[in-house]
């Protein structure tokens, strides 16, 4: 291995560091979002009464035995896109909320869930571009600290599409995910007639990006 090949190997390692931490964090949170969505759908089919000491964020423990069985046997087989479609349908069909009153919240949740699903899929199914041209174009931090960006290759409609993803873009995606999480919990609280938690989550979901960054730092997701 000559000096140029050794340098490319080192550059690839730095790109992998950033790719793994960035993609891993996004995918992990997206899985959590889908799981919360699944719990809410299961609850809609088998509603449980509100308990004064229940934690609205602990969505799984809000389900009764029937809800858990539905989640584990049927809903688990549906993809993210199907669950997004089912959410509004079941709420409307069972008249669980006055849809006209909350149409804006439902629209925002649907839009954010769809965005999260598409971005997650792009990250999960697109390999890292470690071609010499790509590696040379990246911005490197200190050795062993990764890069400020990375490039992935998405294969779609018979074409190879390259996407540059930087740390700033990842932070924006994290902000969208956290916002959507609070919106889902707000919706769940409304379904359970828990106006206090619903209002709290509404406030949290409208945080500015700076406020969201502070929260992400507290969660250990931002340094």
What pLDDT was estimated at residue 215?
A: 62
What pLDDT was estimated at residue 3?
A: 79
- Distance, in Å, from the CA atom of 106 to the CA atom of 56, rounded to the nearest integer, reads 18
Contacts of 24 (CB under 8 A, 6+ apart): none
pLDDT by 10s per residue, the chain, length 223: 677 888 889 999 999 999 999 999 999 999 999 999 999 999 999 998 766 567 899 999 999 999 999 999 999 999 999 999 999 999 999 999 999 999 999 999 999 999 999 999 999 999 999 999 999 999 999 988 999 999 999 999 999 999 999 989 998 999 999 999 999 999 999 999 999 999 999 998 987 766 666 665 665 555 5
What pLDDT was estimated at residue 1?
A: 63
What pLDDT was estimated at residue 8?
A: 87
Is-contact 40 185, C-beta < 8 A?
no
What pLDDT was estimated at residue 216?
A: 58
What pLDDT was estimated at residue 81?
A: 97
Q: Which residue has the tokens 């873009």?
A: 169
What pLDDT was estimated at residue 6?
A: 87
Contacts of 52 (CB under 8 A, 6+ apart): none
- Distance, in Å, from the CA atom of 170 to the CA atom of 186, rounded to the nearest integer, reads 24
SS (H, E, C) 110-170: HHHHHHHHHHHHHHHHCCECCCHHHHHHCCECCCCCCECEEEEEEEECCEEEEEEEEHHHH
């Amino acid at each position: 291995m000559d000096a140029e090949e050794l340098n490319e190997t080192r550059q690839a390692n730095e790109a992998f560091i950033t790719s793994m931490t960035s993609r891993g964090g996004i995918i992990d949170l997206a899985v959590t979002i889908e799981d919360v969505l699944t719990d809410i759908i299961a609850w809609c089919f088998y509603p449980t009464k509100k308990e004064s000491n229940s934690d609205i964020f602990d969505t799984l423990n809000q389900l009764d035995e029937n809800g858990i069985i539905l989640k584990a046997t049927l809903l688990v087989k549906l993809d993210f896109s199907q669950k997004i479609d089912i959410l509004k349908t079941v709420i409307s069909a069972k008249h669980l909320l006055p849809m006209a009153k909350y149409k804006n919240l439902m629209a925002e949740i649907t839009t954010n869930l769809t965005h999260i699903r598409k971005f997650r899929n792009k990250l999960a199914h697109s390999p890292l571009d470690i071609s010499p041209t790509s590696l040379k174009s990246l911005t490197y931090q200190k050795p062993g600290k990764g890069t400020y960006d990375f490039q992935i290759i998405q294969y779609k409609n018979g074409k190879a599409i390259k996407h540059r993803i930087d740390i700033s873009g990842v932070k924006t995606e994290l902000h969208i995910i956290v916002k959507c999480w609070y919106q889902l919990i707000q919706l769940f609280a409304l379904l359970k007639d828990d106006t206090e938690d619903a209002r709290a989550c509404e406030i949290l979901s409208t945080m500015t990006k700076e406020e969201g960054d502070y929260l992400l730092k507290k969660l250990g997701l931002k340094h």
